[in-house]
């Protein structure tokens, strides 16, 4: 009976059995880590491989050899490709060909090291240097619904912080006492003119001081400005940040809304139990102003866990899958996705804005809403204006001041690409941030 000769000659059986054992061992050694990434799929794959390893003993010996050779070749090719892409992505960033053309014109020496590579390089010179750790990181650590002790809303304090690279250099700033992108002295001012709330644009993504929004407002208009923005923030995190870091010497709140992803971020934020408390209980607070040491510890742990992430990504063939997805999606027109939101998503967002306005009113803060359009809408005449129209009309009903950067910066402006690094749609360059700061100032102080 062939079952008695199990694995004696059947190479394909051995291959499947061997891979299944490896996966099963990984699962047993570290079940939580693996299950948090692909629970049902991994169990199905292991069961499938065990079944195939048995059934394949019944195939013809010659066919078995051919299948085995093909399987090993494909597996080896896939794995080598993944290792190559992992090494490349771990150490370098891919520069868009369009940027390369612009780079030649500007003669800028583009630093193509990855964020993790430059972090390791600079760490040799300065042990205290860190990377920006977005609050978003805590939405995807383990179980998204799992109650955690603390949900940080800022970065590591009083540290040189590596942010991002889109203009050919990595922006690096010295964080303040609470881990935000401010010179620390601003917190000691008797009166704060403006508090900036938002995501990466508010954070000052990919430019150095004094080219970010807050620095421009300080430098050009002599305002005392505190920036509470952080990359990848969505509306619920932004509202929570305003409540946690409010002081009674603050005068005005400037809420910067980015049409491209802010409402989409809310889908993930509202699943977190701690963040939901800010919505459901007006008196809820984590008292984060008094827990910076704990926040620093947690954020440093996130940075250390980056290496684990690369290992997990390798197991999932994450780099290869991302490369394939990029090829597929680059051939599709995805311009309008941010304009096609459901009414319920938009009104969930507006509910948070209403709460932020109420909080501001209760604390004698003037509230301004800045509408920063999804820049893809400028490239596509058929972009859906639904989100823009609904938000503008609803905020008018709530008597919220609406600063429309769609009109002020993009409508009827053929040179809008000058706002972006190498004229490629991304975060703003120095020109874009300066223009944005100017329009905000004009609306608030010169209206």
Residues 255 and 385 in one domain: yes
Residues 294 and 433 in one domain: yes
Determine, yes or no, domain membership for 369: yes
pLDDT value for 382: 75
Determine, yes or no, domain membership for 333: no
Mean pLDDT (the chain, rounded): 82
Residues 81 and 151 in one domain: no
Residues 72 and 178 in one domain: no
Contact call for residues 252 and 368 (beta carbons, < 8 A):
yes
Average pLDDT estimate for 46-59: 64
Average pLDDT estimate for 289-314: 81
Determine, yes or no, domain membership for 235: yes
Complete DSSP assignment for 359-410? HHHHTT-EEEEEEE--THHHH-TT---HHHHHHHHHHHHTT-EEEEHIIIII
**More confident position, 365 or 39:** 365
Residue 128 has pLDDT above 70, yes or no: yes
Determine, yes or no, domain membership for 331: no
Determine, yes or no, domain membership for 345: yes
Residue where a domain terminates, one of 91, 125, 141: 91
Contact call for residues 236 and 278 (beta carbons, < 8 A):
yes
Reading the block at residue 68, the tokens are 């085995």
Residue 329 has pLDDT above 60, yes or no: no
Residues 121 and 87 in one domain: no
Residues 6 and 126 in one domain: no
pLDDT value for 61: 65
Instruction: Write out pLDDT tens, residues 136-190.
Output: 989 865 434 445 689 999 999 999 999 999 988 999 999 999 999 999 999 999 9
Determine, yes or no, domain membership for 157: yes
pLDDT value for 385: 84
Question: CB neighbours of 171 closer than 8 A, spacing ≥ 6?
Answer: 162, 163, 164, 165, 204, 205, 206, 207, 208
Number of domains in the chain: 2
Name which of 85-89, 187-191, 332-336 the model is least confident about.
Answer: 332-336
Q: Supply the range of the domain harboring residue 26.
A: 2-91
Residues 236 and 372 in one domain: yes
pLDDT value for 430: 96
How far, in Å, CA of 102 to CA of 277, rounded? 47
Residue 94 has pLDDT above 90, yes or no: no
pLDDT value for 332: 45
Residues 69 and 127 in one domain: no
pLDDT value for 21: 72
pLDDT value for 232: 93
CATH number at residue 187: 3.40.50.1110
Angle between helices 115-123 and 61-91 (to 10 degrees): 60
Residues 247 and 290 in one domain: yes
Highest mean pLDDT among 4-13, 102-111, 269-278: 269-278
Residues 289 and 223 in one domain: yes
Name which of 64-73, 238-247, 298-307 the model is least confident about.
Answer: 64-73
Residues written for the chain: 447
Question: CB neighbours of 343 closer than 8 A, spacing ≥ 6?
Answer: 390
pLDDT value for 307: 59
Instruction: Write out pLDDT tens, residues 391-442.
Output: 999 999 999 999 999 999 998 888 999 999 988 888 999 999 999 999 999 9
Name which of 125-129, 243-247, 412-416 the model is least confident about.
Answer: 412-416
CA distances from 124 to 78, 118, 129, 194 (A): 34, 10, 9, 38
Determine, yes or no, domain membership for 131: yes
Reading the block at residue 155, the tokens are 């970065």
Residue where a domain terminates, one of 57, 91, 125: 91
Residues 134 and 266 in one domain: yes
Determine, yes or no, domain membership for 217: yes
Give just the sign of the alpha carbon dihedral 348, 354, 358, 364: positive
Residues 156 and 24 in one domain: no
């Amino acid at each position: 009976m062939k079952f008695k000769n199990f694995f004696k000659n059947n190479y394909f059986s051995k291959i499947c059995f061997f891979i299944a054992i490896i996966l099963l061992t990984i699962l047993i050694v570290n079940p939580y880590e693996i299950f948090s990434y692909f629970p049902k799929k991994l169990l199905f794959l292991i069961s499938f491989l065990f079944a195939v390893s048995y059934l394949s003993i019944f195939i013809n010996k010659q066919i078995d050899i051919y299948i085995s050779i093909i399987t090993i070749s494909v597996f080896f090719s896939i794995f080598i490709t993944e290792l190559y892409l992992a090494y490349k992505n771990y150490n370098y960033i891919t520069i868009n060909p369009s940027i390369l053309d612009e780079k030649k014109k500007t003669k800028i020496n583009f630093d193509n090291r990855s964020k993790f590579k430059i972090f390791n390089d600079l760490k040799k010179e300065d042990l205290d240097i860190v990377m920006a750790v977005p609050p978003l990181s805590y939405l995807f650590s383990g179980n998204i619904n799992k109650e955690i002790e603390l949900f940080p809303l800022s970065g590591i304090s009083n540290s040189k912080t590596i942010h991002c690279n889109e203009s050919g250099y990595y922006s690096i700033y010295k964080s303040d006492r609470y881990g935000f992108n401010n010179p620390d002295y601003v917190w000691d001012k008797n009166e704060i003119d403006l508090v900036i709330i938002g995501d990466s644009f508010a954070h000052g993504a990919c430019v150095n001081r004094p080219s970010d929004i807050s620095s421009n407002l300080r430098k050009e208009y002599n305002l005392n400005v505190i920036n509470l923005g952080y990359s990848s923030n969505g509306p619920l995190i932004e509202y929570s940040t305003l409540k946690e870091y409010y002081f009674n010497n603050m005068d005005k709140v400037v809420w910067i809304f980015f049409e491209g992803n802010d409402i989409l971020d809310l889908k993930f934020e509202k699943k977190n139990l701690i963040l939901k408390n800010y919505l459901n209980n007006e008196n809820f607070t984590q008292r984060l102003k008094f827990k910076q040491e704990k926040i620093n510890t947690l954020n440093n742990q996130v940075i250390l866990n980056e290496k684990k992430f690369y290992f997990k990504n390798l197991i999932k063939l994450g780099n290869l899958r991302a490369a394939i997805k990029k090829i597929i999606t680059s051939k599709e027109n995805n311009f309008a996705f941010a304009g096609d939101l459901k009414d319920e998503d938009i009104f969930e967002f507006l509910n948070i804005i209403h709460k932020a306005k109420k909080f501001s009113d209760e604390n004698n803060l003037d509230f301004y809403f800045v509408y920063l359009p999804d820049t893809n809408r400028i490239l596509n005449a058929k972009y859906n204006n639904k989100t823009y129209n609904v938000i503008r009309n609803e905020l008018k009903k709530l008597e919220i001041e609406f600063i429309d950067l769609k009109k002020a910066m993009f409508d009827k402006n053929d040179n809008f690409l000058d706002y972006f690094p190498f004229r490629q749609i991304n975060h703003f360059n120095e020109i874009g941030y300066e223009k944005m700061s100017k329009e905000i100032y004009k609306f608030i102080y010169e209206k």
